[in-house]
Homo-oligomer: A and B are copies of this chain.
Amino acid sequence: MGEFELIRRFFASAACAAGGEGIALGIGDDCALLQLPPGEQLAISTDTLVAGVHFPQQADPFFLGQRALAVSASDLAAMGAKPVAFTLALTLPDARPDWLDGFARGLCAMARDCGIGLVGGDTTRGPLSLTLTVFGRVPAGLALTRAGARPGDLLCVGGSLGDGAGALPLVLGEMQDSGADAEYLLQRYWAPQPQLALGQALRGRATAALDISDGLLADCGHIARASGVALLVEAEKLPLSPALERLFPSEFARKCALAGGDDYRLAFTLPAAELAAVQAQWPEVAVIGRVEAGQGVHLLDAAGVELQPPALGYQHFGSQGD
């Protein structure tokens, strides 16, 4: 199994390696070369997924390829960046053509959806894991960081929360269900849609943003710390998918929404004056709280009384499994 042969055979297909705008040199040399339009910056993010930690050893390779790229592209969405290219470092115990074929098809399907081209990587022998590094471009000064939230801003999310965590019992085979609701949750887990268009539309509007990978409350903590503000989350306002609400008791569903990871929805802070324009184009954007002076993340009930944040008690195969 030669590195070059493997990479060429499975990943240098036209669909996946297709040159995105800005790729000056792709797979096959010591380095790839990217160029940026004047006035733009390059956004970079790296994520590793390890078998047995972040996904089951026996995960379907198509789903795995799809999910791995989606998870990484979601970090570009969170910065308001437009995807350009990615590299893949794939470590495999052996070279099974059927596995590689499925993985490559899943990866390339998501690459087409995101408009991102594979420009290089490394294939090594070892316990199954994959590291993706994604590159996007964003006009200088307009990237959405975690640091700009201001008292008075609204706290918003890009859609339903908790589906990723709700899918875990199904992913792990602890729960059997072949109905449409279960299928919806599995789809949300294996093929999360990075909110790329929303992220780009929030440039110059949102004051802070990230993607929810560690769980809403933990991720809101990152914004609160980086911005030096308090975030107030109103428990009753969390958007839950009908599938999650039908499949689980409401307390578990809410716990998934608050503390579960793997949703890859954007969470962002927005001046109130911007809300109508954003919701006109993204009606699924929900206001779930607000920014105040202070520090930390505070969970409130409908009467404004502070609640104890839930412990998820669920640490398998999620982003928490670092």
Contact = CB atoms under 8 A, between A and B. Distances in A.
A54 to B, nearest CB: 7
Contact of A210 (B30, B38, B124): B30
A31 B48 contact: no
Q: So how many copies of this chain end up in the complex? A: 2
Contact of A43 (B3, B33, B127, B145): B33
B30 A44 contact: no
B29 A321 contact: no
A46 B133 contact: yes
A66 interface: no
Given A36-B36, A322-B2, A91 B30 contact: no
Interface stretch (A76-84, A168-176, A272-280, A300-308): A76-84
Contact of A48 (B28, B38, B124): B124
Contacts of A13: none
A129 interface: yes
Nearest to A322: B3
A59 interface: no
Contacts of A76: 30-31
A45 B28 contact: no
A132 B159 CA distance: 34
A15 interface: no
Interface in A115-147: 119-127, 129, 131, 133, 135-136, 138, 140, 143, 145-147
A276 B298 CA distance: 70
A44 B31 contact: yes
B44 A32 contact: yes
A1 interface: yes
A33 B138 contact: yes
